[in-house]
Every structure is written in structure tokens, then in C-alpha cells.
Structure 1
């Protein structure tokens, strides 16, 4: 790569776990309503609602100071850096976390025998929190008119965490680089020239 690095969008990494956690949580909550549980469905659902709100708030606000510090010190991406596609980034995250997702789903089902639906709602709350965090990153990207990226090799070293200890700094590009909009969502319109830009620092 002639001195360049593979770069993944920070917001896409954050969003990658939102959908699987949400849908696994919804599924676990639905199945969890079938058994009456030790406490009954009403208490289970009320407890689950509280856990949903707490989890969403905790995940959405966790490590914001670290994200802010890395974003503030982000260096411009080099012309030999390669921008990873949104779908590839999301697939890599989910592959790295597939066993954790399965264990979390099974644990949520297991708690249904004590508190019906509560475990699933907690899981769904974590997914909602990741979506809120990605939206917060998107607002920051729009305000600063940059997109934030992290080196792929650092993600591999830290179990796909964009703020792990191995991440020394973010990289930045112009707002039009890559195939994901601010916040990590799909772009509604195609970016001229495709997603594999050779000179992201100039975008």
C-alpha cells in the first residue's frame, strides 16, 4: 500500500452492533414473554423497560470523552490510505463479535425464567444506545465537516473497538469521502468516482 493504511469509518464500527443487538433483544423479549417467570410478565416488562432506558443511556454516553479527544487530534488521511467500504466494516465487526452476540442472546433468554422479557429489553437497549452514539458522532462530523476514520489493523488488535488502547488517533477526510454518510448511514446519493478513493485527503 506504499506506506498507506486501510481505514474504517468510526461511526460505521459503532453502528455495526446496533441492528443485531436490537433484533436479538426484540426476539429474546418476545420469546421471554411465553413463560410466566418467577415474577410474572407485568413486573418483568416494567423491569425490562427500566433496563432498556438505562442501557441505552449508558451505551450512548460511554467513552464520549475518549471519542472527543481522538476526533480533536485526528490527522488528515494520506493519499495512499484506502477507505474500507461500509458493508465490509459492518461485516468484520459482526464476525468478530458473533460469539458474544450469541452468548448475550442466550443469557437474555435465560433470564426470562426469572424476569420475563427483561433480558431481551436490556439487549435491545444496548442496540438503541449504539444507534444514538452513532447519531451523536454524525452530528459532530457534520459540524466539523469531516468524516472520522480508524486504522483497520488497530481495530483487529482491539476486537474491533474504535476507542481501544491500541488506537492512537483517528484519521479524517472530507465529508464526501467513502460510501457512508455522517453517522455511518448509507448515502442516499452515490459519491462521484466511487468509494475507493486514491486521494482521500483531498476530498
Structure 2
């Protein structure tokens, strides 16, 4: 980085980075789980999985909202020498850093099908859905304040989570900065430069 600038990653993109792999791995694990009768039977497995899906989505979506809101309210302005990381780079870095956890979660979900069919996969999919809901909520927060919120990349590497203990605060930019819309989705229209 030139002249003391920091690498910054979008908070909402970090939140969304895990949503898709958790969702699809969960759906795949649930599908595999339905092929196994399990100890409880498929019907009980699907009912238990539905409950786990809803609980996981709600818990993940609402967890640490106060911490995110407090850091968003106290966000400092990003400096002109800060480097804004692309959405694709942030997503790739998160997925590379968590690939072994994703694989272990998938294997655990498939393995749980021998006891309760499909339930582990539905729990995993619920976690992905909860992350997507949290990113959507965070996008509404960004739109309301008309600011995009960023976190230092080195703090993410140290702690792994955008609201973890290693993160001291966020930095804000104008709503048109970067290549991701509020909430971390791809921009539908090109950003103004």
C-alpha cells in the first residue's frame, strides 16, 4: 500500500461470501440424506430439518446486529490512499480461508443423515440463508445512512469475522464506491468514477 493506505474489504460482501456455499452444500447434503432411511425415518428427519433450518436462519440473521450497528454508526471516513478490494477478491479470499470448515460441515451434515435424514443438510442451508438475510439487512443499513462500510483486510485475516474482536471499527465511503451494491450484491449498473 502506498503512503500508509490500508486494504479494505466490504463488510456486506464478507457476510454474503459464505451464504452461497453453505446454502448449496446444505441442499446437496439434504438431498443425499434423503436417500438414507436413517434411524428416525425420512419424515421425522425432514420435519426436524425444517425446524433446524428456520432456527439457524433466524439465529444467524439476528446475531450480533447490535455490534454491527454500533460499528456502522462510528465508522471513520476512508482515506484517499486506502485500497478498496473488489467483490470477487473478497469472496474468493473468504472461501479459500474457510474451505476446510465448509468441507467438514458438509461431511458432518451427510454423516448425520444416518441418524436423522436431511436434518444436517437443512441446518447447513439455514445457516447460508441466515447469512444472506444478514447481508440484506446490512445493505438496508448502508442505504439508510448512504454510506458503504468497509473493514481492514488485515483485521479480517486476524479474526475472520467482520464483527469479531480483531475488528476495531469500520470505514465508510460514498454509496457509489467499489463494485458491489449496498448489501454486497453485484452492481447492476457500473459505478460512477
Short-chain TM bin: over 0.9
The aligned residue for residue 25 of structure 1 is: 26
Q: How many residue pairs are counted as aligned between the two chains?
A: 192
Question: Normalising by the residue count of structure 2, what TM-score does the alignment of the two structures yield?
Answer: 0.98
| Alpha-carbon distance between aligned partners in 2 of 1:134 and 1:69, rounded to the nearest angstrom | 16
The aligned residue for residue 7 of structure 1 is: 8
| Alpha-carbon distance between aligned partners in 1 of 2:4 and 2:71, rounded to the nearest angstrom | 22
| Alpha-carbon distance between aligned partners in 1 of 2:178 and 2:139, rounded to the nearest angstrom | 14
**Residues 78-114 of structure 1: CA deviation (Å, up to 9, x unaligned):** 0000100000000000000000000000000011001
The aligned residue for residue 196 of structure 1 is: none
| Displacement after TM superposition at 1:9 (Å) | 0.2
The aligned residue for residue 140 of structure 2 is: 139
| Displacement after TM superposition at 1:192 (Å) | 3.1
| Alpha-carbon distance between aligned partners in 2 of 1:132 and 1:148, rounded to the nearest angstrom | 17
SS at match of 1:28: helix
SS at match of 1:56: helix
| Alpha-carbon distance between aligned partners in 2 of 1:174 and 1:102, rounded to the nearest angstrom | 37
The aligned residue for residue 176 of structure 1 is: 176
SS at match of 1:8: strand
**1:189 to 2:189 alignment:** yes
**Residues 12-56 of structure 1: CA deviation (Å, up to 9, x unaligned):** 000000000000000000000001000000000000000000000
SS at match of 1:184: coil
The aligned residue for residue 94 of structure 2 is: 93
SS at match of 2:3: coil
Question: Normalising by the residue count of structure 1, what TM-score does the alignment of the two structures yield?
Answer: 0.94
| Alpha-carbon distance between aligned partners in 2 of 1:92 and 1:66, rounded to the nearest angstrom | 23
Note if contact 2:177-2:192 (Cα within 8 Å) is conserved in structure 1: no
| Alpha-carbon distance between aligned partners in 2 of 1:6 and 1:100, rounded to the nearest angstrom | 25
| Displacement after TM superposition at 1:3 (Å) | 1.1
Give unmatched runs, 5+ long, in structure 1. 194-203
Give unmatched runs, 5+ long, in structure 2. none
RMSD: 0.6
The aligned residue for residue 58 of structure 1 is: 59
| Alpha-carbon distance between aligned partners in 2 of 1:191 and 1:47, rounded to the nearest angstrom | 44
| Alpha-carbon distance between aligned partners in 1 of 2:47 and 2:39, rounded to the nearest angstrom | 14
SS at match of 1:150: strand
| Alpha-carbon distance between aligned partners in 1 of 2:150 and 2:192, rounded to the nearest angstrom | 20
